[in-house]
Amino acid sequence: MNNTYLVVMAGGIGSRFWPFSRTQHPKQFHDVLGVGRSMLQLTVDRFRGICPPENVFVVTNRDYVNLVQSHLPDLPADQILGEPIGRNTAPCVAYASYRIAQRDPKATIIVSPADHAVLREEEFRRLIREAITAARQHDVLITLGIQPSRPDTGYGYIQYMDGAENRLEGNNLHKVKTFTEKPNSELARMFLESGDFLWNAGLFIWQAESILRAFHNLLSDVAEVFDEGADKLGTPDEAAFIDEAYARCRNISIDYGIMEKADNVYVLPADIGWSDLGTWDSLHRVGQRDTQNNVIDGDVMLYDTQDCIIKTPLERLVVVQGLEGYIVAEHDNVLLICQRSEEQRVKDFVADVKSKKGGGYH
C-alpha cells in the first residue's frame, strides 16, 4: 500500500458550470452534490484505504493553492504542486510523476480528476485495487472506462478489443484499440450499439517507470524539459524550475499526447455511477429528483414546475412557478435562468459577460 500514490488534478475552471463555477472559485471547491463536502474533498475521501495520506498529491494552479489547503487542511504544503500556468494534463501528469519518482522509483500512481462524481464507491475501490495489482505486474498504462448509458456527445470514447488474447491474464483489463474524442450524435449512437465502446473517465493507473518511459517515447519534448530539472524537484529550487519548465511545455492533454499513441494501453470497464459533472444537465442526472423530476439545492418552493435544476443560496427563499426544463442557478452576484436544452450556450454567456461586463462575474 505504501508504494501507491494518488495524484488529484485540481486546476480547471469548469466554465460550463457557471455561475456556480468561477475563475476565483472553481467547481472542485464547491459542494456540488449538496452533501456537505466539496468535489475535491469527496475525491480524496474516495481513495481512503487505497492510498496513505502521505502519498496524496494535488496538482493545481498556484492561484488555488490556498483553496486546496483550506479544503484539505491535513495535506502537507509540499504535497500541493502549484502550476504557474495551465498547460493541459500532460505537463500536469509529468510534473507529479517526476516528483513522485524522485521520492519512490517503484511507485504505482493513480491519476484522478478532482471534480467527478462516483455514486458506487465500494465497486469503484474494488476496481481501483484490481487496476493497481495489474499495473504492478505489467508495463501497462491503464484507464478506467465507464459503461455508457446513452449516446452522449460530451464524452470521449474508448474502443476495446474482446477475446482472451486481448486481456491481461487474471483480470478484466482489455487492450485498447482506439480513442475517439467527443463524437457527433450519429457516431455516438453507433458506438453505443456496437457494445465495445466505453466512456473515457480520464482516470489512470500506472507504474511511475511506465509513464516516464511513455513520456520519453511519445512526448520526448516534455520529458526533456523535466529530465533537465528532475534533481530540483522536492528542493527549494522547485518553484523556479517549474516556472521555466511550464514556459517551455506545449499545451497538450495526456490523452492526445500519450494514451492515443501508446501500444500498451488497457481499459478496465467500470459501472460505478460515474459522472464528470461537467454540465448542469449532468448534475440533474445524478442528483436527487422530486416527484416532478426536479433537482433542488436551496430554500425553494415550486408550483407547476418540472424537469428543472435549481441551485440557489440557502439564505434566499426562491419561489418558482410554471417552469419546465430550466436551469435556475444563483451564486454570488450572478443569477442564470436558461433552458436545459440550451445549456451548451453557457460558455457563450461567460464569454459575453467577460467582454461586456468585465471582471467580477466570471
How does residue 194 score in pLDDT terms, banded at 50, 70 and 90?
Answer: confident
Residues 299 and 314: their CA atoms lie apart, in Å, by: 5
Residues 324 and 328: their CA atoms lie apart, in Å, by: 11
337 φ, ψ (degrees, to nearest 5) = -125, 115
Burial class (CB in 10 A: 0-12, 13-18, 19+), 262: middle
Q: Which residue would you say has higher pLDDT here, 279 or 49?
A: 49
Question: What pLDDT, on a 0 to 100 scale, did the predictor assign at position 84?
Answer: 94
List the chain domain ranges: 4-275, 280-357
Of all residues in the chain, what percent carry a pLDDT higher than 90?
Answer: 64
Query: Would the pLDDT of 165 be above 70?
Result: no
Dihedral-angle region of residue 273 (phi above 0 means left; psi in -120 to 50 means alpha; beta otherwise): left
How does residue 1 score in pLDDT terms, banded at 50, 70 and 90?
Answer: low
How does residue 15 score in pLDDT terms, banded at 50, 70 and 90?
Answer: confident
Question: What pLDDT, on a 0 to 100 scale, did the predictor assign at position 191?
Answer: 83
Question: What pLDDT, on a 0 to 100 scale, did the predictor assign at position 164?
Answer: 67
Query: Would the pLDDT of 134 be above 90?
Result: yes
Could you check whether the bond before residue 19 is cis, i.e. omega within 30 degrees of 0? Answer: yes
Cell triple for 191: 458506438
How does residue 65 score in pLDDT terms, banded at 50, 70 and 90?
Answer: very high
What mean pLDDT is predicted for residues 156-183?
A: 80
Cα atoms found within 13 Å of the Cα of residue 201, Cβ hemisphere only: 30
What mean pLDDT is predicted for residues 30-55?
A: 92
Residues whose CB falls within 8 Å of the CB of residue 73, separated by 6 or more in sequence, listed in order: none
Alpha-carbon separation of residue 362 from 200, 309, 335, 357 (angstroms)? 28, 21, 12, 9
How does residue 33 score in pLDDT terms, banded at 50, 70 and 90?
Answer: confident
139-154: b (≥16 Cβ within 10 Å) or e: ebbbbbbbebeebbee
Residues 94 and 96: their CA atoms lie apart, in Å, by: 6
Dihedral-angle region of residue 211 (phi above 0 means left; psi in -120 to 50 means alpha; beta otherwise): alpha
What mean pLDDT is predicted for residues 72-89?
A: 94
Least confident of 77-91, 107-121, 165-179, 238-252: 165-179
Question: What pLDDT, on a 0 to 100 scale, did the predictor assign at position 307?
Answer: 96
What mean pLDDT is predicted for residues 185-207?
A: 86
How does residue 277 score in pLDDT terms, banded at 50, 70 and 90?
Answer: confident
- What does the mean pLDDT of the chain come to? 91
- Class of domain 4-275 (CATH, top level): alpha beta
Of all residues in the chain, what percent carry a pLDDT higher than 70?
Answer: 99
188-200: b (≥16 Cβ within 10 Å) or e: beebeeeeebbbb
Question: What pLDDT, on a 0 to 100 scale, did the predictor assign at position 44?
Answer: 96
Strand order in the sheet with 326-331: 295-297, 309-311, 326-331, 334-339
Query: Would the pLDDT of 187 be above 60?
Result: yes
Question: What pLDDT, on a 0 to 100 scale, did the predictor assign at position 37?
Answer: 92
Residues 294 and 347: their CA atoms lie apart, in Å, by: 23
Residues 257 and 222: their CA atoms lie apart, in Å, by: 10
Cell triple for 352: 459575453
Residues whose CB falls within 8 Å of the CB of residue 8, separated by 6 or more in sequence, listed in order: 40, 43, 44, 56, 57, 58, 59, 112, 113, 114
Selection from 249, 258, 277 nearest residue 83 by Cα: 249
pLDDT in tens, 209-267: 999 999 999 999 999 999 999 999 999 999 999 999 999 999 999 988 999 899 999 99
Query: Would the pLDDT of 71 be above 60?
Result: yes
C-beta neighbour count of 270 within 10 angstroms: 26
pLDDT in tens, 314-331: 999 999 999 999 999 999
Cell triple for 236: 527549494
Question: What pLDDT, on a 0 to 100 scale, did the predictor assign at position 285?
Answer: 85
Question: What pLDDT, on a 0 to 100 scale, did the predictor assign at position 283?
Answer: 87
What mean pLDDT is predicted for residues 93-119?
A: 95
